[in-house]
Chain A
């Protein structure tokens, strides 16, 4: 199965600062997705970037993808206390990997007011 590995495991910043977290993977992908999870809740889809895209924006989120390095980064600009959550990447691959969508351990982001 495809599994991304997030880095760092934990990130602590002040409100207003930018937060950057990374995801690395090992095999080819069709897309890479980022999800957020508030404590004890389900995951929420944030953004999807396709393998032929290099950068994508959505509000305060900026995602980059470097398929040569097999890595992606998620940047949250001007962070807020409400951004405190765990963030996961998900590698979407086609072919026989359909239906085997697996997550890494995530990055725990804490934004201090």
Chain B
């Protein structure tokens, strides 16, 4: 148990659906991250929040919409996804992105399938 919980673990959705992924951390961290892991590709950093403020958006399509209401919770809202968006979506947290020896703590991920 890493202290980072992601729900749901698995999600199947159609291209016209709207769904949300949830991440919650119980570590008292201030930074939270969304990563996408597709087969045969490196992990892709999608979004970074530090003290609830978005600090990174790595050219992610607008059909992915993050929300960070507080330092403990992070959501990824999904709408009108494409089959190529099928992947493992990983949430991570860390103490603070300005720390030099920053270590990431990951959730178990949400395996998303878009039909």
Smallest Cβ-Cβ distance to A99: which chain B residue: B97
Q: Which size class do A's interface residues fall under?
A: 20 to 34
Stretch with Cβ within 8 A of A (4 or more), from B12-20, B37-45, B64-72, B78-86:
B37-45
Q: Mark B34-52, 1 if CB is under 8 A from A, else 0.
A: 0000001111010010100
B108 neighbours in A (Cβ, 8 Å): 41-42
Smallest Cβ-Cβ distance to B42: which chain A residue: A105
Q: Is there contact, CB below 8 Å, between A99 and B100?
A: no
* With contact pairs A99-B55, A101-B45 given, residues A90 and B88 touching in the complex (Cβ less than 8 Å): no
> Closest approach, in angstroms, between the C-beta of B55 and any C-beta of chain A?
5
A3 neighbours in B (Cβ, 8 Å): 42
In this assembly, does A94 line the interface, its C-beta being within 8 Å of a C-beta of chain B? yes
B42 neighbours in A (Cβ, 8 Å): 3, 102-106
Cα(A30)–Cα(B101), bound, Å: 8
* With contact pairs A1-B45, A105-B42 given, residues A33 and B97 touching in the complex (Cβ less than 8 Å): no
Cα(A13)–Cα(B105), bound, Å: 28
In this assembly, does A78 line the interface, its C-beta being within 8 Å of a C-beta of chain B? no
Smallest Cβ-Cβ distance to B48: which chain A residue: A99
Q: Is there contact, CB below 8 Å, between A101 and B102?
A: yes
Cα(A40)–Cα(B92), bound, Å: 15
In this assembly, does B111 line the interface, its C-beta being within 8 Å of a C-beta of chain A? yes
Cα(A45)–Cα(B90), bound, Å: 14
Q: Is there contact, CB below 8 Å, between B111 and A100?
A: no
